[in-house]
Amino acid sequence: MDRRLALIGLAALAGCGFALRREPELPFKTLALTGFGADSPLALGLKRQIKRTPVQVLDDPARAQVVLEALDEQRDRSVVASTSVGQVREFQLRLRFDYLVRTAEGELLVPKVELRLVRDMNYTETAALAKEQEAANLYSAMHSDAIAQVMRRLAAIRLPG
């Protein structure tokens, strides 16, 4: 009886168009990443995601079909709220990533994209170490979100010719 209910449930999900999220299918065979810092978490995450696809990441942008060029990558935090005696109560964490996508010949495939991600974080001095770990986790989540957005943008590229 349970098996029949499970099959009916799966059939209902399949009929409504439900499907698990898959890796984006990239319409090119080679990609180069340029302009990233040596220890950029975004570059490392993008390389990790791209390795899950048939696309090959090249070091030489002149040989790649598509070049993702990082123009700006910054992380910062600012105080949003504080007490009357100057104790911080809330931070705002920001990730800024500007990039463009072009061919090796310089033809623009995706004009400059300004990606901005913001997260708010409560803060107490008594839990400073825990709050630093929370900030690191929030930055990690923002990097994952940015990588997913870039991958979707790369999947939407239409190569000339």
Q: What's the CA gap between 75 and 61, in Å, rounded? A: 26
Distance in angstroms (rounded) separating the CA atoms of residues 156 and 145: 17
- How far is C-alpha 18 from the chain's CA centre? 24
| pLDDT recorded at residue 16 | 67
Question: Domain residue spans in the chain?
Answer: 27-155
For 5, residues 6+ apart whose C-beta sits below 8 A from its C-beta are: none
Backbone angles phi, psi at 67, to 5 degrees: -120, 125
3-class secondary-structure state, position 103: strand
Q: Provide the whole-model pTM.
A: 0.81
Structure tokens at 102: 């072009």
Count Cβ atoms within 10 A of the Cβ of residue 31 and give its class: 0-12 exposed, 13-18 middle, 19 or more buried.
buried
State residue 83's pLDDT score. 82
State the pLDDT at residue 19.
67
Q: Which CATH architecture has domain 27-155?
A: 2-Layer Sandwich (3.30)
pLDDT (tens, 9 = 90+) of the chain, 161 residues, equals 677 767 676 666 666 666 666 677 899 999 999 999 989 999 999 999 999 999 999 999 999 999 999 999 999 999 888 888 888 889 999 999 999 999 999 999 999 999 999 999 998 888 889 989 999 999 999 999 999 999 999 999 998 87
The pLDDT value given to residue 54: 93
